[in-house]
Amino acid sequence: MDDPDLYPQIEKIVIWFSSKTQEWDVTLAKHGTVHFLQARDVLSYRKFQARCADALGVVFMSMKTDDWLRRVNAARSVAEERIGSRYAEARPNGGSDDGRPPTDR
């Protein structure tokens, strides 16, 4: 069950804390990073599968909930935690206080 083409292998989790939200970025071996996840999107393997298909174009095989949560817990125990907006430098150009990038108007 270690083939990164068949099952997600979490390399890194970064959790962004702002005054209004908590967002997770999950980096997977060989596939890249899925951004702007809520905890429920990571803890539910089916939701995570769907987000990976949307964001990375990869469809992973099914896995037992306990196996997935073991992987998440291992990665979460060494996750980076960051406070504030990931787009603080974009705010002067129209970014918002909730950490989202500026929108085209």
Whether 71 is covered by a domain: the verdict is yes
CB 100, CB 88: distance < 8 Å: no
Whether 14 is covered by a domain: the verdict is yes
In this structure, what are the phi and psi dihedrals at residue 13, rounded to the nearest 5 degrees?
Answer: -125, 130
Question: Where do runs of H (alpha helix) occur along 4-64?
Answer: 39-43, 45-56
Residue-wise pLDDT tens digits, 43-87: 999 999 999 999 999 999 999 999 999 999 999 999 999 998 766
Domain hosting 44: range is: 10-85
Handedness of CA 59, 62, 66, 71 (dihedral sign): negative
Name the domain count of the chain: 1
pLDDT-derived band of residue 89, with 50, 70 and 90 as boundaries? very low
Whether 5 is covered by a domain: the verdict is no
Whether 28 is covered by a domain: the verdict is yes
**Does pLDDT of 9 surpass 70?**
yes
pLDDT-derived band of residue 98, with 50, 70 and 90 as boundaries? very low
Whether 91 is covered by a domain: the verdict is no
Whether 53 is covered by a domain: the verdict is yes
Tokens of 41: 């999107």
